[in-house]
Copies of this chain bind each other. A is one copy, B any other.
Amino acid sequence: MARDAAATKARILQAAVTEFAAVGLAGGRVDRIAAAAAADKKLIYNYFTDKTTLFDAALQHALAQLVATVPIDEADLPGYAGRLFDYVIEHPHAHRLAMWRRLERPDAGPDDGRIYSEKVIAMLSGPPDRHQHPIPPVDLLVLVQAMAGAWSISPVQLLAADGSDPAAKSRLAEHRDALVTAVRRLIDPAT
């Protein structure tokens, strides 16, 4: 019974991730989530209170998947950036959900980022040599994450500025290389 409940909750969360990533909080329909999860709508409200709470849970779920698959690696930020680039292109849900949240709830509190807080706190109180880096650890992380997701939110024209297919594998590989090089230069100017 408890296992059934957990399985149902997981199905609801996955359906919520798909629905909200596609159309956002305002556009998301609990009816569609219930249908996709083969779950009763009343049960969804029973588990998640209301649509906004379900949205936050979906965002947490997607971010947890992202962080589990691509853990922040302070010792290898260029490699981390490359892996994050790959993940965001193949699994855009977490990135899209985070953008919807910033757009639709600009005044919402800091709860959506608690997935990062432990890691960030560790970085903030990290090894002393890191503190001597001209860029503070939190800024470094924010800048690296922004660069890793850059191609998924940039004006489309830039993607096709040279006239080639921006989604072509070879173009993506070039952008990934440029990203990793950029992060390497941020970390260690001698490279």
Q: Which residues of A contact B (CB under 8 A)?
A: 23-24, 26-27, 63, 96, 98-100, 102-104, 108-117, 120-121, 124, 134-136, 138-143, 145-147, 149-162, 174-175, 178-179, 181-182, 185-186, 189-191
A160 contacts across to B, CB distance below 8 A: 110
Residue of B nearest to A151 (CB): B142
Q: Which 9 A-B pairs have the closest CB atoms?
A: A113-B157, A113-B155, A146-B150, A139-B178, A189-B189, A110-B156, A110-B157, A120-B161, A146-B146
- Determine the chain B residues whose CB is within 8 A of the CB of A24 once the complex forms: 24, 26, 103-104
* CA–CA, A63 and B155, complex, Å: 10
Q: How far is the CA of A111 from the CA of B124 in the complex (A)?
A: 42
Check A182 against B116 for contact (C-beta < 8 Å).
Answer: no
